[in-house]
Structure formats: structure tokens, C-alpha cells
């Protein structure tokens, strides 16, 4: 704008007001431009998270469903690799380590700037800076891709066997069943609050218990149990193979914070892990 002439006090006053108003606005615009230039991992965006509504019981149900799944059916094979005693000791060891690290992750969340809305990414950022963000992003993406792929394959392969047996149509192969279940799983993955997952977690836990009971029933009906001395106590040669399957059962840390944040009374979260 054009500078005011001398002696015109009103024009000077207007010019001063305009300059003071333009200054902060230009500063805000500059900050917005600088923010947009940052990469995704450098942005510290507060994502609105719904206030917790779940009880400790609901959180425990979600936590239990996170633990038990397809990996539960691999435990017999894992015990064959570790031996009877080696499998029991290894399973207890992993359970203790998982319980401790989950509670430790919860304590780290409480020490962040915004404990009520902090995510796994925020914990990594405040612990190790940009490197922590990159490591957490990479590990979470890799873990979720691996776990979700194995679950989709597990569901599709079993659904394929059931549909082929019922209909007698070989067209229901694994790829077709993946296309059938994928939209359902995609919709479930978009749920922001774990409060609503109670309605899938409890039936899922009951269905899994039923499936394991049927599997054990077939086992005792089809196979003869050997004496305890027949089974090796510790199988050192294949013992490392045990940890891959057993760890798959316990590695649920990426869902710990969302489950905790879905609770009304977060101080009772430790109970859900015990």
C-alpha cells in the first residue's frame, strides 16, 4: 500500500493497523507452508481420538482375541520342535517378557506430551526422534503386512475347504475366498474405536475355543497317545524354530495402545494383561 502523507494522522493510524494485521497473517501462512513441506514422519499432527468408552472386561476381550488366533494352531508343531519341557519353559518365558514389555509401553505412553492421544508413532518420536518414527513406521507396516497376510490366507484356505465340501463346486478356491472375505476385513480395519470390536472379539474367541475343542476331539479319536517317555523333553537341534511360531502368538504390541485408549478407566489396563 502507498505510504501516507505527513500530517494525516488518521491515514497513519489505518496504515499501522493494516501493517500489524498483515504481519501475523503472513507469519501464519509461512508456518503453514513450512509445515506442508515436511515429510509425513516429521509432522506432529494431533489425530482426534474418541474418548475411551470400554470397560476393563471389553479391553480384556480385545486383548485376548489379539493373542489367540491362527498361531494357536501352530503351537503343537512348535512344541514338537522344542520338546515338551522346552516348549513349556519357552512359552512361559515369552509370556512373562510380553507382559512386562506391554506394561512398559503403557508407561512410556503416560510420559508423552499428550498421553490420552499418543500413538505408537508418538512414543517412538519422543524416545528417539525422527529415527524412532521411521523405525516404528517400518516395523509396524512390515508386521501388519505379514500378520494380516497370514490371517487372510488362513481364513480363505479354510473357507475354501468348507464351501467346496458343501457345494461340491471347485470354483471356490483360495483366491475366490480371499475376494469374498476381503471387503469384510477392510470394513473392520476402518473402525477407529476398539469399543465396537467387542461384538467381534467375543464371538471370535468362542469360535476359536470351539475349533480347538473339535481339533483335540479328532486328535484323541484318531491317534493313540504315547507314554510320556516317548516325547523328548528338550529338542536342542530344532529349538530355535519354536520361537518363530511362539513369538507370533505374543507379538501384539501394535494394538496395545489403541486398546488402552479405548478404556474409560485406563488405570485398570494392567489387569487386562494379567
Neighbour tally for 139: CB within 10 Å:
14
Q: Is the pLDDT of residue 38 over 60?
A: no
Q: Is the pLDDT of residue 117 over 80?
A: no
> CA-to-CA distance for 92 and 90, rounded, in angstroms?
5
Place of cell 507396516: 141
Chain length of the chain? 274
Q: Is the pLDDT of residue 152 over 70?
A: yes
Pick the residue with more confidence: 51 or 241?
241
* Verdict on whether the full-model pTM lies above 0.75: no
Pick the residue with more confidence: 82 or 29?
82
Backbone angles phi and psi of 246, in degrees to 5? -70, -40
Using alpha carbons, list the distances in angstroms from residue 254 to 59, 81, 130, 251, 259: 15, 28, 19, 8, 10
> CA-to-CA distance for 110 and 93, rounded, in angstroms?
26
> CA-to-CA distance for 140 and 253, rounded, in angstroms?
9
**CB–CB of 245/90 below 8 Å?**
no
Q: Parse the chain into domains and list their residue ranges.
A: 9-25+54-273
Pick the residue with more confidence: 124 or 212?
124
Amino acid at each position: 500500500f502507498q505510504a501516507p502523507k505527513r500530517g494525516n494522522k488518521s491515514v497513519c493510524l489505518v496504515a499501522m493497523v493494516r501493517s500489524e494485521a498483515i504481519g501475523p497473517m503472513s507469519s501464519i501462512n509461512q508456518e503453514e507452508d513450512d509445515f506442508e513441506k515436511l515429510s509425513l514422519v516429521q509432522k506432529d499432527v494431533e489425530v482426534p481420538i474418541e474418548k475411551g468408552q470400554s470397560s476393563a472386561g471389553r479391553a480384556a476381550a480385545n486383548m485376548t482375541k489379539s493373542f489367540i488366533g491362527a498361531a494357536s494352531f501352530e503351537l503343537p508343531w512348535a512344541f514338537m520342535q522344542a520338546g515338551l519341557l522346552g516348549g513349556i519353559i519357552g512359552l512361559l518365558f515369552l509370556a512373562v517378557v510380553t507382559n512386562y514389555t506391554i506394561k512398559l509401553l503403557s508407561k512410556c505412553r503416560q510420559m508423552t506430551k499428550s498421553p490420552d492421544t499418543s500413538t505408537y508413532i508418538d512414543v517412538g518420536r519422543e524416545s528417539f526422534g525422527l529415527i524412532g518414527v521411521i523405525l516404528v513406521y517400518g516395523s509396524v507396516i512390515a508386521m501388519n503386512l505379514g500378520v494380516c497376510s497370514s490371517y487372510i490366507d488362513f481364513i480363505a484356505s479354510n473357507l475354501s475347504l468348507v464351501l467346496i465340501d458343501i457345494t461340491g463346486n471347485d470354483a471356490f478356491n483360495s483366491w475366490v475366498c480371499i475376494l469374498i472375505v476381503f471387503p469384510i476385513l477392510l470394513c473392520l480395519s476402518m473402525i477407529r474405536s476398539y469399543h465396537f470390536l467387542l461384538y467381534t472379539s467375543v464371538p471370535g474367541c468362542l469360535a476359536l475355543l470351539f475349533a480347538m475343542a473339535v481339533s483335540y476331539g479328532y486328535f484323541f479319536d484318531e491317534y493313540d497317545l504315547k507314554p510320556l517317555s516317548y516325547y523328548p523333553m528338550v529338542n536342542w537341534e530344532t529349538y530355535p524354530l519354536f520361537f518363530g511360531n511362539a513369538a507370533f502368538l505374543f507379538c501384539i504390541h501394535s494394538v496395545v495402545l489403541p486398546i488402552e485408549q479405548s478404556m474409560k478407566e485406563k488405570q485398570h489396563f494392567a489387569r487386562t494383561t494379567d
